[in-house]
Structure 1
Amino acid sequence: LNFIDINTRICLAFLCAMDKIVVPFLLLTLPLTQSRNVEKVPSEGLFTEEDKVDILSQTNFDTTIYNQPVLYIVLYYNRWCGHCISFAPTYKQFAEQMADWSNVIKFAAIDCADDDNDDLCADHSIELFPSLKYFPVKSSSVKDGVFIEDHPRTIDQLSTKLTELIVKEYKLKQHTEWPNLNYIEENTAVESLYQNEEELNYVVIVFQNPESKEFLGEQLVLDSMKYKNILVRLATPQHQYAKQKQLNNTKASTNHLNP
């Protein structure tokens, strides 16, 4: 069993490989460029069936959004609105990037410029465009929808804000079908995380301050959902392993342990 500790500026992580050679693990932040070119005013809605965005209407809103096992983000827009036209590509791109999180969060949009949707948009108290609402797991009515304040406009802003909403939802309801976003207890032995887990090849523990508002550790946990052989868990810097290895968040360090 080989251990690698990775202490980064923001968080600390280490890989535990079972019966396999440890491979480098990189946590990258990739710059994303948003086009400044404003699209032409559309004659139809701003989204198509090819996007990772569910297209809502008066007729399918309830069946799509309510009583679902995931958190839903809904964009209310007006196809003639310049801000909506500018924001739509960002929303599409973000929904595409978050496709691997579809067991936890999904995205939808409704065009309030469509006369058929007038009553629904009015019932949802939509007065400004674009507007974002989130609907918690198993929402059952319009009353469950909550406006997302300080409308996030960029990929990074969306990522941080929506991860915050996911964490809030998890802490409130502890969804067992979601990845575990709880912090492991400070005295929990690393070995206990993979005992009786034959499918696991790697265990990744991210050490970070629970008060962190960047949610990098939580994002890593959610990113790992598609890998059945990798378990990612969160821990505080006060965990016994972090103390033993004198890990801190001021400089990068790598330590190897070969028991």
Structure 2
Amino acid sequence: MARRCGGATTRFPEEIQKNARKIATTAVWFCLSLLFPSAAEAGLYTASDQVVLLTPENVESVLINSTAAIFAEFYASWCGHCIAFSPVYKSLARDITEWKPAVDLAAIDCAEDENRKVCTAFGIRAYPTIKFFHAYSKPESRGQAFKATTHDVRVLRQRIVDKLENHEEPWPPACPPLEPTSQTEIDSFFENNNVQYLALIFEDTKSYIGREVTLDLLQFETVAVRRVLSTESALVTKLGVTEFPSCYLYSPQGNFTRLEVNIEARTFYSYALQRLPGVTRSGKPPPVTADVLANNTQEPWKPFNQYKVYMADLESTLHFSLRVELAAHTVIKGEALSSLNDYISVLVKYFPGRPVVMNLLKSLNARLQNQTGDEISYEAIGEILDNSAQSADTALPEGVRWVGCQGSQPHLRRYPCGMWILFHVLTVQAKNSGGTDPKEVLSAMRKYVHSFFGCTLCAEHFETMAGESLSGVNTFSSAVLWLWSRHNRVNNRLAGALSEDPNFPKIQWPSPETCPACHSVKDNGEHRWSQEKVLPFLMSHFSSSNILPDYLESESQILENQRDKHATSWR
């Protein structure tokens, strides 16, 4: 029988609670690498890749005496094999992001002068070399060789599972049991574990799904996962199980119910279990109800349809972008002025706005196009935004009215959510309008984020993604899909972060419930996005016909507010 990672069945066993502060060692270094990018950023990986960037300063803290098992890649940035393997390693890191803090991936560029002594100390003679460091490795440890001769993420992931399952003492404290369960354990499970659900995944002996889903749920509370082999005849017979794999939920009341999923596969099990009522990410507050939301945000909660886009969010985004974010720049010139020109240009071309708003954007665009110098003051832009010239039927609503982008706390979602939706809408509108440059919207977005977006790290991460692959966009369809896939990549990176709203978890979107046809599996059971279905879904979801006017001020009210403002200013 396979050995288990950790002797207890709870998420963090009581006997190792005294070590809980150590559990976050790797995560802390990851967060620090986000805040303080080092020379390692010049290699094949960045902090955006969810790979811990090793340096002479942190290598011992990450690899030695860590409470997590660590797989470390020693590579040389000039090495062709390393370059070819780096996308695989990045994909693997994204694929097992939920497995922290039981296991994590790290990397160090041995081609950097400052790192050579580190690589020599660990006996590195060829690139790439991956070594496995078990939890609580000793200072003299040089790691164990890890076979990485494949570019198949699935195979690499399963080899990681094998290493975890056969981990020597002491176990990674956060690692849940991975060995098959039995009727005896299940009969007494709720006596020893304070959880709301026990998910039993029935599978064949050679299947990895049960162990993978167990690790996928590692960071979620009130649910535990166990694998049951098809040879466990008592349980199989008791539940009448005939399909392998299949998943059943066992409750403290003794009830067994089959988990309904579109496809019996890892991704679908993990998604469904993470979204069960009462299941929350460890350390995150539970979702709150509408009446509490109203108190938290100090404004009434606006019921909304998650399958629709709201013009209130789009106009709120324009207000914040043009009146708040741009206002931080007293004078806009050079590259920033070019970015602003492109941004306003694509808004005029593709934003499906109301007439008064479009008139305002056209006025601003005309002012920028007629700009004779190489700079413009924000004061001049502000005059256009306020319609100081009193042009007829021209206005941009002031203030924000978040609807689909409202958050359970005032600091969650809102403007970043609105900016994503705005550019999704623009890429779809550009495709529908028959434009000539597939990169036009994405390039404008890239330049705006680089020049103006207030979150510096967010801008750096987006620039990294754009630099890696935006050149490959050559059709309007690929532009729509590029933005969608990068948005999902950001969601993967930020899942569980402080910025994640517990009421709106950062998932891979659209979910199986939202678009069942968008999801399928490969022959080997791995999840596959059906992009031929995703594209029409995106074209429909972000189309102008799917934008609702709910919660908007009427155009007449907007114009009246503008007149009153100007009248007051003249007094």
Normalised by the length of structure 2, the TM-score is 0.34
How many Å apart are 1:123 and its aligned residue?
A: 2.1
How many Å apart are 1:198 and its aligned residue?
A: 5.4
How many Å apart are 1:166 and its aligned residue?
A: 1.0
Q: Which moved more, 1:82-91 or 1:232-241?
A: 232-241
Aligned residue runs from structure 1 range 13-28, under 5 A: none
Q: C-alpha distance in 1, partners of 2:247/2:91?
A: 35
How many Å apart are 1:59 and its aligned residue?
A: 2.7
Alignment partner of 1:228 out of 183, 207, 221: 221
Change in CA separation of 1:223 and 1:252 when aligned onto 2, cut-off 3 Å: closer
Q: Is the 8 A contact 1:124 1:142 kept in 2?
A: no
SS in 2 for 1:96: helix
SS in 2 for 1:69: coil
**Residue type of the alignment partner of 2:135:** V
**Residue 240, structure 1, aligned to residue 234, structure 2:** yes
Q: C-alpha distance in 2, partners of 1:99/1:253?
A: 22
Unaligned runs of 5+ in 1: 1-42
**Residue type of the alignment partner of 1:84:** C
**Residue type of the alignment partner of 1:193:** F
Counterpart position of 2:190: 194
Change in CA separation of 1:104 and 1:239 when aligned onto 2, cut-off 3 Å: farther
Q: Is the 8 A contact 2:195 2:224 kept in 1?
A: no
Q: Deviation string for 1:6-34 (max 9, x for gaps)?
A: xxxxxxxxxxxxxxxxxxxxxxxxxxxxx
Change in CA separation of 1:189 and 1:110 when aligned onto 2, cut-off 3 Å: closer
Counterpart position of 1:180: 177
How many Å apart are 1:188 and its aligned residue?
A: 1.4
Change in CA separation of 1:135 and 1:109 when aligned onto 2, cut-off 3 Å: same
How many Å apart are 1:58 and its aligned residue?
A: 2.3
Q: C-alpha distance in 2, partners of 1:129/1:161?
A: 19
Q: Which moved more, 1:65-74 or 1:230-239?
A: 230-239
Change in CA separation of 1:243 and 1:145 when aligned onto 2, cut-off 3 Å: same
Q: C-alpha distance in 2, partners of 1:116/1:251?
A: 49
Counterpart position of 1:66: 64
Counterpart position of 1:7: none
SS in 2 for 1:74: strand
SS in 2 for 1:143: coil
SS in 2 for 1:194: helix
SS in 2 for 1:134: strand
Change in CA separation of 1:142 and 1:208 when aligned onto 2, cut-off 3 Å: farther
Q: C-alpha distance in 2, partners of 1:180/1:130?
A: 31
How many Å apart are 1:191 and its aligned residue?
A: 4.5
Q: C-alpha distance in 2, partners of 1:222/1:127?
A: 33
SS in 2 for 1:90: helix
Counterpart position of 1:163: 161
**Residue 139, structure 1, aligned to residue 137, structure 2:** yes
Q: C-alpha distance in 1, partners of 2:228/2:93?
A: 28
Q: C-alpha distance in 2, partners of 1:84/1:45?
A: 11
SS in 1 for 2:48: coil
Counterpart position of 1:83: 81
**Residue 108, structure 1, aligned to residue 106, structure 2:** yes
Q: C-alpha distance in 2, partners of 1:50/1:175?
A: 25
Change in CA separation of 1:246 and 1:76 when aligned onto 2, cut-off 3 Å: same
Change in CA separation of 1:90 and 1:142 when aligned onto 2, cut-off 3 Å: farther
How many Å apart are 1:164 and its aligned residue?
A: 0.9
Q: Deviation string for 1:141-178 (max 9, x for gaps)?
A: 35350011253322112111111111111x75455532
Q: C-alpha distance in 1, partners of 2:64/2:256?
A: 49
How many Å apart are 1:182 and its aligned residue?
A: 3.2
Counterpart position of 2:200: 205
Change in CA separation of 1:246 and 1:184 when aligned onto 2, cut-off 3 Å: same
Q: Which has the higher helix share?
A: 2
How many Å apart are 1:62 and its aligned residue?
A: 0.9
Cα RMSD of the aligned pairs, angstroms, is: 2.9
**Residue type of the alignment partner of 1:180:** P
Counterpart position of 2:210: 217
Normalised by the length of structure 1, the TM-score is 0.70
Q: Is the 8 A contact 1:184 1:234 kept in 2?
A: yes
Q: C-alpha distance in 1, partners of 2:61/2:95?
A: 25
Unaligned runs of 5+ in 2: 1-40, 249-254, 258-571
Q: Is the 8 A contact 2:135 2:170 kept in 1?
A: no
SS in 1 for 2:84: helix
SS in 1 for 2:70: strand
